[in-house]
Amino acid sequence: MNTHFTSRLEKIEAVLRENLPEIPYASAWQTKAFGKTDSAVTTEHIAELVEPCKILVASGGKRWRPLFAVLCAEAASASAENRNERIAQAYAITPLIEFVHTASLIHDDIEDGADMRRGKPAVHISRGIDTALNAGSWLYFQAAACLQDVEPALKALLYDVLMTELRRLHLGQAMDISWHKDNAKLPSVEEYLAMTALKTGTLASLSAHCGVLIGGGTAQQADQTAEAAAAIGVGFQIRDDIINLTTGNAGKKRGDDIVEGKKSLPVLYHIQERPEDFEKLAACFKQASAEGIESSAVEKAITLLSAGGALEKASVKSSNLIADACKKIETLYPDTEGAALITELFSAM
């Protein structure tokens, strides 16, 4: 990866560690997180929230969303007199983005019945569903703790963006759940893309919106960059859908989307092309759901989906969404290093 990205990512990691610190937790961090607490509240109690989240944050992740936020701030602040201060503030709020993403993964794994995340047991497997639900919910709120030092007017804007995107995230998840619970229910391609723009695109949108506002961009620039970012998020979700059915996503087993009953874009394109396969795929989803990842139905479904041109069509859709969005961002911030690096980042990914 570009060394420019490496140095930025190192700064992001340092900020994330500072916001989910090691035991013993500093009193200043505890006060910032919880306000004044009774002396009966111990490190052990706080660890029930912090440690499950910290384990998942520390286990990896591409970190492209917080990096994207920083690059958006750089692009928007290209001609600002206080540019260095704005970029420093962009790094300071990266937990807002990465912690929301992590919280969504904890809850998503419970709702999907997924056993693994990033090559390790999912949080609800290693720590129990009750702890996972509570810690994941706490992390949504803890994500916003990094905004406490932002000046009031900008803080209000960022809170408004955060709350809107969180509501949109949960709407997208509701759509996804309604489909994967019913093996025979098939959304349209348009419904799938709308769901993905909410569930996955909203995290990219949050990154862009926050980055541009901190960088001093206009409300119109923030809205337009966020719209392009949502398309990038959709593009990468489609890419993940394809990888799940081919090589398998890192830290997960190939075809676990089949077990979870996910109606991904390759599935929808395949049914459009070969409607006679619908009943076969529905039967595979049902069998795989009952038998788990080792079920023969998983490879049977993948063989069916690989037979037509659905994977290739989905790949083209993904590439076009990402490329078109990057061009739009370069148009919004012409001749800026930040915009150029955004294109380079997503091209490399």
Band (pLDDT 50/70/90 cuts) for residue 112 is confident
Q: Does position 1 have pLDDT exceeding 60, yes or no? A: no
Q: How many domains does the chain have?
A: 1
Contacts for 279 with CB less than 8 Å, ≥ 6 apart:
none
Instruction: Dump pLDDT digits (tens) for 200-239.
Output: 999 999 999 999 999 999 999 999 999 999 999 999 999 9
Q: Does residue 9 have a pLDDT over 80? A: yes
Task: Name the pLDDT band for 185 (thresholds 50, 70, 90).
Answer: confident
pLDDT at position 250 = 66
**What DSSP line would sit under 118-162, residue for residue?**
TTEE-HHHHH-HHHHHHHHHHHHHHGGGGGTTS-HHHHHHHHHHH
* pLDDT at residue 251 in the model: 65
Band (310; pLDDT cuts 50, 70, 90): very high
Rounded distance between C-alpha atoms, residue 139 and residue 237, angstroms: 23
Q: What percent of the chain has pLDDT over 90?
A: 83
Q: Is the pLDDT of residue 133 over 70?
A: yes
Query: H or E element: which one contains 309?
Result: none
pLDDT surpassing 90 at residue 48:
yes
Average pLDDT of the residues in 183-209 = 93
Please provide residue 270's backbone torsions phi and psi, each rounded to the nearest 5 degrees.
Answer: -65, -40
Whichever domain contains 179, its CATH number is 1.10.600.10
- The tens digit of pLDDT for each residue in 70-93 reads 999 999 999 899 999 999 999 999
- The model carries a pTM of 0.92
- Can you tell me the distance from the alpha carbon of 256 to that of 293, in angstroms, rounded to the nearest whole number? 6
**Peptide bond connecting 334 to the previous residue in cis, omega within 30 degrees of 0:** no
**Which residues contact residue 56 at a Cβ distance below 8 angstroms, ignoring those fewer than 6 apart?**
102, 105, 106, 117, 118, 123
Q: CA-CA distance, 183 to 16, in Å (whole number)?
A: 39
What tokens appear for 122 in the block? 């999912």
pLDDT tens sequence across 135-154 = 999 999 999 999 999 999 99
Domain of residue 18 covers 3-348
Helix, strand, coil shares of the chain as percentages rounded to 5? 75, 0, 20
